[in-house]
Amino acid sequence: MDSLSGAAEDISAPGIRKVSHVLRRGDRSLFIVNGAMHFGLHAAEGALLFVLRKTRTALLIDGIEKMTSMTRLQALPLSFCHEERRWYRGLTALDQTVVPVVHPDGFLSPEELALLDAALLEADHSAAEALEGTNPAQ
Amino acid sequence: MTVSTELELQSFVLLRLGERRFAVSATQIAELVAPSRVFRFPHRTSKLEGVILRRGRIVPVCEVSEILLGKRLTSRRFYLIAVRNYGAQREWVAVPVTGECELINAEMMPAAESDAPHVAGWLSHDGDVIEVLNLDTLTPGPEQALLKSAAPQSEEGRP
């Protein structure tokens, strides 16, 4: 986050603890999702940010283990029947290891995006009001 | 006509969990394999330990001892790979067992209404009365998720 400290703004939406910062890029806002919190893992600070293509999500991760290509994606077995069905596109086997393949749209649901947009709008509104309050012309 | 003449001999696989034995219809069993590495990743489905890799297929490992025995068993000797129905779809699931399995022929008495949903029936073998398991209700699947989400205090409802 250090390298983004100038660009990322704080954001707080009720019930969405995994998003605490937003990144503005022109007229677009990218919500920074803490990957560890999203998956319910031990909360980590995160060192790298992945901007996920065609989404409004930037994913904060600990590091990159390796980059590779997969040849086969197996659907998530139907025994997995909760939130993870939204999180993962499926599973793949790489070097005799099973790795889940995430769904880029699975980090923020439409409802969560709506809440974050509302929080962003409110923050902008408050900032505009504060600016007006400090305007010497008034 | 007596009850016994109405029943038919069927094949079952007897499996051991701790001190108890259970049966599963042999038609549902794909194979019995030695324990292999369980791959774990984040998910929210309880009673699901992770997945194993078997003949290029990724098979979920379903932990059933807590429901059947009331305690979780960590030791395991084999994985019984069985076919689980999800409506029209069928998939493999791996059930950890703690002892040898045995193939037997027996007559199954159908389950009563008062039996737990995971009981498909009962059979008598070697002087024991053994539960025949219904894996479709014992192992997790979308239908359990729907039931849980309908419950007012579901696990997923907790913060």
Reported confidence tier of residue A47, pLDDT bands at 50, 70, 90: confident
What are the pLDDT digits (tens) for A50-100? Answer: 999 999 999 999 989 999 999 999 999 999 999 999 999 999 999 889 999
Q: Quick one: pLDDT at residue B157? A: 36
- For residues B35-57, average pLDDT: 94
d(CA A134, CA A64): 45
Give the sheet arrangement for strand A28-34, strand by strand: A8-10, A19-25, A28-34, A57-61, A48-51
- For residues B28-36, average pLDDT: 94
Give the CA distances from residue B27 to residues A111, A129, B11, B119, B154, in Å, rounded to whole numbers and listed in that order.
44, 71, 8, 16, 34
**Chain B residues whose C-beta sits inside 8 Å of any chain A C-beta:** 39, 41-45, 48, 51, 53, 56-60, 62, 84, 86, 89, 91, 93, 139-142, 144-145, 156
- For residues A123-133, average pLDDT: 80
Mean predicted lDDT score pLDDT of chain B: 88
d(CA B134, CA B64): 11
- For residues B15-23, average pLDDT: 95
ipTM for the complex shown: 0.85
d(CA B83, CA B70): 24
Which of A40, A81, A96 is nearest residue B140 as measured by Cβ atoms? A81
Domains of chain B: 7-153 (2.40.50.180)
User: Comparing B154 with B8, which gets the higher pLDDT?
Assistant: B8
Query: Cβ atoms within 10 A of the Cβ of A86, count?
Result: 11
B12: left (phi over 0), alpha (psi -120 to 50) or beta: beta
Q: Answer yes or no: are the C-beta atoms of B76 and B98 closer than 8 Å.
A: yes
Q: Answer yes or no: are the C-beta atoms of B135 and B84 closer than 8 Å.
A: yes
pTM across the whole model: 0.83
